[in-house]
Amino acid sequence: MNRTDTGSAPVANGTSPPPPFYPPRTTLHEGEIVVVQVVSLNTYYAHCILLEYSHAPARILYSELSKRNFGGALSKLCKVGSRECCCVLSTSDPSGELNLSRKRVPREVQQQALQKYQKSRMVLRIMEDFVEEMHSKLKDRPQQKEQAPLGQGGAPSSHASAHPSTQSYTSSSASDETTPQTSDLKVLRNYLQQYFTNIVYPCHALYGHCWVAFKMCITDSTKRESIFATILNPQKPGWRDHTTNQLAHIKSVLFQCIKRRLKTRPTKMRCHIEVSSFSENGIDNVKEALLKAQNCDSDIQVNLIAHPVFALTCFAEDVHEGRKLLIHAMQCVKACIMQYAHSKFKCLQPPNRVDSRMDNTLNIIMQQLESENKEVDGDHEEEEAIEFELVA
């Protein structure tokens, strides 16, 4: 399947537009923020396409580009191929194109719109990988014009009515003579649209954005099953003709594609504990208890903050699994230290993820404690004077 790069103009490369990133609608509301790409410059306006809605046509009047007087230097304000955040001015133009404005969008809103668009692009890449994995057999049959039956876990049947913007993406003219390769690509594009209808759009409605649901599948294993059970519900129209094995196969392939694209570096987690022992071998008892935490898992690190406060740190890809690991380590430390008399164990801070701000705060506290306990000139002489007075 040829990748659809939403960052390049379809006029230049001739590729088909992707399906709408969000549920198709008849029209957009006035004042709604959209991300567009400039395709060409006209005498009075810049012709552009909506990157989030199947490259629907739109235009930006030059008077709506900037609040400043550009003095004829149009190339400084707008370039062909540039990506812009605009708001919808009117939707009832006789030409059928949307009238947009760039100067009425605040800078903060532009950043939020671009972040949302980047998340939608990532969802598109995940779904393209998913379609290729599910229907890779179509690419291996270049001489077969008929649509072959799908393997395990076929495409869902979408009973929803096709939107005009999606019909241009999924439909093909019956009178056109197509090669086997292009017919297979059209089949894959149809599957991509159907999976968007049955997976991506429901996630938008339930979680605000499909990227949020996919991200939770990676970072929180407790919510993963509930998310897949919601979007792959056999009671929904798109999945009624699928067996349990087919849905399990779809879930496995989709999770692998999500994990491949959204896998990030492990999350740092930390908890603070207080461990002390006033028995005869108190220091050895504390050391033995802290070694129990490291024996639970080699990834757990024990750091001294200020006696008797210690920090247990670990790195985990799943926040829930990392929290369970630190809780188990604290239980091992408590069981070991409490078997000795005159010992104390207390959890000062439960396991939680750590960001850069918390790390900097802890480093500052440790540096202050170290500077306070550092010996200065004159400390040794005062101790010798006290010892001399006691001897005298």
The confidence band for 268, taking pLDDT boundaries of 50, 70 and 90, is: confident
The long-range contacts involving 32-35, CB below 8 angstroms and separated by at least 24 positions, are: 32/87, 32/88, 33/85, 33/86, 33/87, 33/105, 33/109, 33/113, 34/58, 34/85, 34/86, 34/87, 34/88, 34/98, 34/100, 34/113, 35/83, 35/84, 35/85, 35/86, 35/113, 35/114, 35/117
Q: Is the pLDDT of residue 249 over 60?
A: yes
Instruction: Give the confidence band of 330 by pLDDT, cuts at 50, 70, 90.
Output: very high
Ranked by mean pLDDT, the top range of 25-29, 36-40, 234-238 is: 36-40
Report angle CA 59, 65, 68 to the nearest 5 degrees. Answer: 160
pTM, two decimals, is 0.61
User: CB of 286 within 8 A of CB of 337?
Assistant: yes
CA–CA separation, 252 vs 164, rounded Å? 33
pLDDT at 220 over 70: yes
Cα dihedral 58, 59, 65, 70 sign:
positive
**Alpha-carbon distances, residue 153 vs 2, 130, 134, 188, 242 (angstroms):** 22, 12, 7, 14, 7
Question: How confident is the model at residue 172, as a pLDDT?
Answer: 36
pLDDT band (50, 70, 90) for residue 63? confident
Q: What is the identity of the amino acid at 270?
A: R
Quickly list DSSP for 169-203: HH---TTS---HHHHHHHHHHHHHHHHIIIIIHHH
- Mean pLDDT value of segment 97-102: 87
| pLDDT band for position 162 (cuts 50, 70, 90) | very low
Q: Are the beta carbons of 285 and 277 closer than 8 angstroms?
A: yes
Q: What is the pLDDT of residue 23?
A: 86
Task: State the pLDDT confidence band at 79, using cuts at 50, 70 and 90.
Answer: confident
What does the alpha-carbon distance between residue 150 and residue 74 come to, in Å, rounded to a whole number? 52
Domains of the chain: 10-105 (2.40.50.140), 120-142+179-262 (no CATH), 267-373 (3.30.70.1130)
Task: Say what the alpha-carbon torsion angle 313, 317, 320, 322 is, to the nearest 10 degrees.
Answer: -20
pLDDT at 362 over 90: no
CA 358 to CA 360: how far, in whole Å? 5
How far separated are the first and last CA of the chain, in Å rounded? 94
Omega of the bond prior to 57 within 30 degrees of 0, cis? no
Tally the residues of the chain.
392
CA count, 13 A, side-chain hemisphere, 52:
22
pLDDT tens for residues 276-324? 999 888 889 999 999 988 888 778 899 888 888 999 999 887 788 888 8
Spatial CB neighbours of 92, under 8 Å, sequence gap ≥ 6: none
CA distance 48 to 62: 12
**pLDDT mean over 125-152:** 62
Q: At what angle do helices 210-219 and 221-231 cross, to 10 degrees?
A: 140
CA quadruple 143, 148, 152, 158: dihedral sign: positive
Average of pLDDT values for 5-16? 44
Region 12-32: mean pLDDT is: 77
